Chain A
Amino acid sequence: MAEFSVDRFVDLYAHRTSGMSASEVRALFAVASRPDVVSLAGGMPFVQALEPQEVIDAATEVLATDAATALQYGGGQGHPPLRERLVELMNDEGVEADPDDVVVTTGAQQALDLLGKIFIDPGDRIAVEAPAYVGALTAFGAYEPDYLQIEIDDDGMIVDQLEEALVRGDRPKFVYTCPNFGNPAGVTLSYERRRQLVGLCREASIPIIEDNPYGLLRFEGAPLPCLRTLDPDNVIYLGTVSKVFSPGVRVGWALAEQSVVQRLVLAKEAADLCGSSLNMLLTERYLASDRWRANLRVLVDTYRSRRDAMLEAIGEHFPDGAMWTEPIGGFYVWVSLPGWFDTQSMLAAAVERKVAYVPGTAFYPDGRGAQQMRLAFCYPTEPRIREGIARLGGLLTDEEQLYRSMHP
């Protein structure tokens, strides 16, 4: 009577991998990638806006003038001229920085992983928004933290809740937040709350990780100061070129004080020695001219129109009782449905009707979020967005009817 082993290493894996398992939702997304499905699920940037020739020119220039660097290993902190460009990019959002305080990472996603690695021991408390970016939860999750979840409203993180937790004696190692049109909720932290958050964290000596991938994708209104601007000493700032240039080059960065930078560089070198020199040089060349600004204007106009199309369609097709955020930038609308909806179990029916979304449960570490869904307006065209929302609205109406039929 032999035990049949499908994975002979199963008893050898680290405890931190225990949360990594196959899921129904992932299986459904495999279907959602078919072309007749309107996917409002993935947050894929509209890279078609890039002028191919401009990228070709930048790549050609890199290989013609600096192939020896582009095809070689580089330093763990990242290509120095690129770090200067990234500082210029941050200046656009009012963040002053020194290139020496920047670590280039493989997307900002790697910065999240490295920060988890250098800050989190198993069981450590960390504070995150509820809901929070799923990629941050998976990156931090590997280091087995204990989450302090801070709710959000239309003005972003409810900082009073963090304050109450601190008064109760909670001491998270850091506070992670995505203050500008955050993923997934699309809400923006108000100015008053920004002041409150940095003041509170400074007083308690708790560093803030400010994740700002969408900051330049503002559709209307004046930009608010970054947390890093309000308190350069206590905020670790994360940026990416994924939303202003290309997610395919995998270039992101962390801006932090030197002591953190040094640990990040060591952790980065342990993880992958250095980022892709070719991609870093290409990104540096692309950002060197003003062409990225023209591209950004196209992106902002495109995303704004798509946001408008989505909000209008939601207003038209979603049933009473549904509530949603109205983002002033970024990629996402966050929808909250009446309590009896289960967006995770409903996803199969949605895919059957050829529309996909991300169930809210992905964005909480504790299984909450079954009444929420994240809708991305960044990638599909406006007619496709309208069609997708109409399909989803039809489904919500039918689900409601089904529910009523069982709860007379």
Chain B
Amino acid sequence: MKIAVLAGGRTPERDVSLRGGHRVAGALAELGHDAIVVDPADAPLVETLREKAPDICYLTLHGKEGEDGTVQRLLDLLGIPYTGTAAFDCEVAFDKVLAKDATRRAGVPTPDWVTVEGWALRDLGAGAALGTVIERIGLPCVVKPSRSGSALGVSVVEREGDLPAAVMGALSFSGAAIVEAKVQGTEVAVGLVGSPLEALPLVEIVPKEGAYDYAARYTAGATDYYAPARLDVDVAALCTTTSYAVAAALSARDVTRVDMIVDGGNPWVLEVNVAPGMTETSLLPMGAHAAGTDLAGLCDRILQAAITRS
């Protein structure tokens, strides 16, 4: 098949996306496909796609535009099938404000949170209510941009006085921020691939120092990973069930990754990534590896799911 691997784009996750995209294109070529990497930042995407006329697009874009439904809507319009979640569902999954609400409504546990909107601070005097945020969520808490990835703009707040700076940092990336209760526990990620989605072995994340931030994610060796995760069988099974539930609630398809924290025996869903990273330090390929599936096998399952649908 002729496959355009969409990677790069114009977001802070550009390099991460390109690294993953080139790996995916190599894997697809191994499978005998005619795979090319197309970077929407290089040339107007519509022109390139009309010229190359791929049978399908394999999406490895991250961040705004790539992960929030924008590219998906464009591909819908052009009538080009693509891997991954549908446009509207991407929009919900990418926006933590919407996704957390959808998660809770589906009865899936997610740490308590409050949304702080930039315009509410500027125009509605919401700053006066920041004290209430802390009363409600407690300390420590985690402040995240509503629409961003790779832990960019995320900070942990230990003292109430540090909340405004953390909110400003998150709002630098996005119009809204969420202030989320910090659950202490084991960080795990569950990759889900295929149609219907099937869980890969859990990957446990243990940063060598501090939080699983941008540097811990993308500096090889800065984080230890265990796949499968070192959890009791029952707890691991509960994590998997939980990941199915939240993926269904958000209508994720083909490939997705659910990040959670396990506190005692209880999994809490932090977020659902409909465009999980595919770099050499990314979690989804690690989960696949633990299941005995190489990158080509992983890409093939994702691709087949998308082809079957179209």
Contact = CB atoms under 8 A, between A and B. Distances in A.
Given A30-B12, A31-B11, A348-B12, A402 B227 contact: no
Contact of B227 (A2, A31, A346): A2
A340 B166 CA distance: 12
Nearest to A37: B10
Nearest to A20: B219
9 contacts: A2-B227, A4-B227, A4-B289, A6-B281, A22-B217, A26-B15, A406-B127, A406-B167, A408-B125
Contact of B15 (A9, A13, A30): A30
Interface of A: 1-4, 6-7, 9-10, 13, 20-24, 26-28, 30-31, 34, 340, 342, 345-349, 351-352, 398-399, 401-408
Interface in B10-61: 10-16, 41
Nearest to B231: A1
Interface in B203-239: 203, 214-215, 217-228, 230
B243 to A, nearest CB: 19
Among A1, A399, A404, the most chain B Cβ lie within 10 Å of the Cβ of A1
Nearest to A28: B12
B168 A403 contact: yes
Contacts of B191: none
Interface in B252-309: 280-281, 286, 289-290
Contacts of A351: 12
Interface in B155-207: 163-165, 167-169, 171-173, 203
Given A21-B219, A23-B214, A1 B228 contact: yes
Contacts of B78: none
A340 B127 contact: no
Contacts of B163: 406
Contacts of A27: 12-16, 150, 152, 214
Contact of A4 (B172, B173, B225): B225
Contact of A402 (B121, B130, B218, B220): B121
Contacts of B221: 6-7, 9-10, 13
B215 A21 contact: yes
Nearest to B154: A24
Contact of B10 (A31, A398, A399): A31
A406 B203 CA distance: 39
B128 interface: yes
B104 to A, nearest CB: 26
B127 A348 contact: no
Given A21-B219, A22-B219, A402-B121, A4 B203 contact: yes
A351 B15 CA distance: 16
Contacts of B150: 27
A402 B128 contact: no
Interface in B119-143: 121-122, 125-128, 130
Contact of B12 (A6, A13, A24): A24
B224 A405 contact: no
B225 A405 contact: no
A342 B162 CA distance: 12
Contacts of A13: 221
A34 B41 contact: yes
Nearest to B16: A27
A4 B290 contact: yes
Contacts of A34: 10, 41
Among B118, B167, B172, B223, the most chain A Cβ lie within 10 Å of the Cβ of B172
Contact of B173 (A6, A349, A406, A407): A349
Among B16, B221, B227, B280, the most chain A Cβ lie within 10 Å of the Cβ of B221
Contacts of B11: 31
Contacts of A345: 153, 165, 168-169, 172
Contact of B225 (A3, A20, A28, A407): A3
